């Protein structure tokens, strides 16, 4: 008899986006002419930069010629891409990395979900609340979560609330935790962390032999000076942190799939008998066994991000979305609603007005002005009373949405 991993049935269905779709469909059925604008999803809408497209075209032609055809590539990624990653994303910030400390992969979603696999089940996991759900669900699947309480929290996870009261900066936990998921710039709150605050986490991790799993998928959106682009800008972080980066949000690769994960050789985990083991070795073992690399054509596309034109083109993509973020942020602010994020991230996190819960505000926005956003409660208990809008729609739709909110939303 085939027994299943029962941790999977502990997981509630993906309630958030299916519930959103259900409510939008019901509204559309009754109001077929409503021009609904979606500012809910975290997916980009602008096409891939021309430099990426032209590089991928060339790579396609190479695959058609037996002299340049490529079969299986290195599971860790081609050196031509890893060298560029180190040269452009790390060296200018004074961070030196070896080729074998960077692992190219098909997405930060898969890497942030899979990385927990190389750790024992006894580790205590800490997550911010609200949170990108992948960190939590992947640990539930593995069996580290305990059970889901009526308060919406898993009994064995440590939650670090991030709300307006603490300026969305997670406080160090009172109890000892082993694996800490941090994401800055943050999805969903759109807020960031200063170097001083991040240093506290690095010091905590060093003191407790913990590991920080640092998701920097939105790094390209950072505009302000004191915001770290990489956790390795913090002294000592190379001993305790793994960093996840993606081409999804800076270069429009959400459907093309390419990302990378940095695992410095200095980061150590321990056996029960106290022997120190390099996480780099374990992750390399895991990837070479379970992953066969990102397609050559895609890695060639990603490489083009680092050309002069590529750099200019991704900057204008980010600028495009950040202009939307500004339109949303300033427009919402002008209505008197409290707004966070949107300065160094494509997400705007607002406090639902008049004490409404986040689903009531969702309904209000949908019914009054035909705009779809994401209720904060869907990202964790501390997201209740908040609401996320994203800057990824077209500028025209974004302007139209904000105009509607300003003129027609009855608070
Ligand atoms: N990490 C965070 C915080 C995200 O919000 C997302 C996507 O929305 C991802 C990772 C996924 O990135 P990728 O497209 O590289 O899988």
Query: Any idea where the domains of the chain sit in the sequence?
Result: 13-47+309-408, 53-307
**Could you check whether the bond before residue 316 is cis, i.e. omega within 30 degrees of 0?**
no
Taking only the tens place, the pLDDT of each residue in 41-71 is: 889 999 999 999 999 999 999 999 999 999 9
Q: How confident is the model at residue 41, as a pLDDT?
A: 84
Which atom from ligand 1 is nearest to the alpha carbon of 111?
16
Which atom from ligand 1 is nearest to the alpha carbon of 259?
15
Alpha-carbon span 237 to 201, nearest angstrom: 9
The DSSP secondary-structure symbol of 117 reads: G
Q: How confident is the model at residue 133, as a pLDDT?
A: 95
- The response to whether 132 counts as a known ligand-binding position is yes
Identify the three-state secondary structure at position 183. strand
**Residue of 114, 245, 246 to mutate, ligand 1, most atoms within 8 A of C-beta:** 246
Alpha-carbon span 208 to 172, nearest angstrom: 12
Q: What is the CATH number of domain 13-47+309-408?
A: 3.90.1150.10
Q: How far is the CA of 1 from the centre of ligand 1 (A)?
A: 37
Alpha-carbon span 46 to 53, nearest angstrom: 13
Alpha-carbon span 261 to 108, nearest angstrom: 8
Q: How confident is the model at residue 157, as a pLDDT?
A: 98
Alpha-carbon span 14 to 18, nearest angstrom: 7
**Residue of 40, 108, 374 to mutate, ligand 1, most atoms within 8 A of C-beta:** 108
Q: How confident is the model at residue 13, as a pLDDT?
A: 81
DSSP letter string, 142-159 = HT-S--B-TTS-BTTSEE
Domains 13-47+309-408 and 53-307 share a fold: no
Q: How far is the CA of 108 from the centre of ligand 1 (A)?
A: 5
**Residue of 77, 109, 111, 302 to mutate, ligand 1, most atoms within 8 A of C-beta:** 109
Question: Which residues in the chain land under pLDDT 70?
Answer: none
Q: How far is the CA of 61 from the centre of ligand 1 (A)?
A: 30
Which atom from ligand 1 is nearest to the alpha carbon of 248?
14
Which atom from ligand 1 is nearest to the alpha carbon of 186?
3
Ligand 1 pocket: which residues have CB below 6 Å? 42, 107-109, 112, 132, 183, 187, 215, 217, 246, 248, 254, 259
- The response to whether 42 counts as a known ligand-binding position is yes
Alpha-carbon span 397 to 46, nearest angstrom: 13
Q: How confident is the model at residue 17, as a pLDDT?
A: 87
Residue nearest to atom 8 of ligand 1 (CA): 42
Q: How far is the CA of 347 from the centre of ligand 1 (A)?
A: 13
Residue nearest to atom 5 of ligand 1 (CA): 187
Q: How far is the CA of 184 from the centre of ligand 1 (A)?
A: 12
Share of the chain above pLDDT 90, in %: 96
Angle between helices 15-30 and 358-369 (to 10 degrees): 30
Q: Which two tokens stand for residue 280?
A: 């780099």
- The response to whether 10 counts as a known ligand-binding position is no
Residue nearest to atom 3 of ligand 1 (CA): 187
The closest of 93, 47, 349, 345 to 243, measured between CA atoms, is 93
Q: How confident is the model at residue 411, as a pLDDT?
A: 79
Q: How confident is the model at residue 16, as a pLDDT?
A: 87
**Residue of 181, 187, 251, 390 to mutate, ligand 1, most atoms within 8 A of C-beta:** 187
Yes or no: is domain 53-307 CATH 3.40.640.10?
A: yes
- The response to whether 404 counts as a known ligand-binding position is no
Residue nearest to atom 12 of ligand 1 (CA): 108
Alpha-carbon span 154 to 401, nearest angstrom: 36
């Amino acid at each position: 008899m085939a027994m299943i991993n029962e941790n999977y049935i502990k997981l509630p269905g993906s309630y958030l986006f299916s519930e959103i779709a259900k409510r939008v469909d019901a509204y559309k059925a009754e109001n077929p002419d409503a021009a609904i604008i979606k500012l809910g999803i975290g997916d980009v809408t602008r096409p891939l930069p021309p430099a990426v497209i032209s590089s991928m075209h060339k790579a396609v032609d190479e695959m058609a010629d037996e002299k340049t055809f490529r079969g299986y590539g290195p599971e860790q990624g081609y050196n031509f891409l890893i060298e560029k990653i180190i040269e452009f994303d790390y060296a200018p910030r004074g961070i030196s990395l070896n080729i074998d400390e960077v692992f190219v992969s098909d997405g930060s979603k898969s890497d942030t979900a899979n990385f927990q696999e190389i750790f024992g089940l006894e580790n205590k996991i800490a997550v911010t609340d609200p949170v990108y759900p992948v960190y939590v669900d992947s640990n539930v699947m593995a069996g580290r979560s305990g059970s889901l309480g009526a308060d919406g929290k898993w009994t064995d996870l440590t939650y670090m609330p991030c709300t307006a009261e603490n300026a969305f900066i997670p406080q160090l936990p009172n109890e000892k935790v082993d694996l800490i998921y941090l994401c800055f710039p943050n999805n969903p709150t759109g807020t960031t962390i200063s170097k001083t605050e991040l240093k506290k986490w690095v010091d905590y991790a060093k003191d407790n032999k913990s590991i920080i799993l640092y998701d920097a998928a939105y790094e390209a959106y950072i505009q302000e000076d004191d915001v770290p682009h990489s956790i390795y800008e913090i002294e000592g972080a190379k001993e305790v942190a793994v960093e996840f980066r993606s081409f999804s949000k800076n270069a429009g690769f959400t459907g093309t799939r390419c990302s990378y994960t940095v695992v410095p050789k200095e980061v150590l985990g321990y056996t029960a008998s106290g022997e120190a083991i390099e996480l780099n070795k374990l992750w390399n073992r895991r990837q070479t066994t379970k992953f066969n690399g990102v397609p050559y054509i895609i890695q060639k596309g990603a490489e083009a991000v680092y050309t002069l034109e590529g750099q200019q083109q991704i900057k204008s993509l980010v600028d495009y979305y950040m202009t939307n973020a500004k339109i949303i942020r300033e427009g919402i602010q002008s209505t008197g609603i409290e707004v966070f994020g949107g300065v160094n991230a494509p997400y705007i996190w607002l406090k639902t007005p008049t004490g409404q819960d986040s689903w009531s505000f969702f309904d209000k926005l949908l019914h009054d002005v035909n705009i779809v956003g994401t209720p904060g409660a869907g990202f964790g208990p501390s997201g209740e009373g908040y609401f996320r809008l994203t800057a990824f729609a077209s500028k025209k739709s974004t302007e139209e949405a904000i105009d509607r909110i300003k003129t027609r939303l009855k608070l």
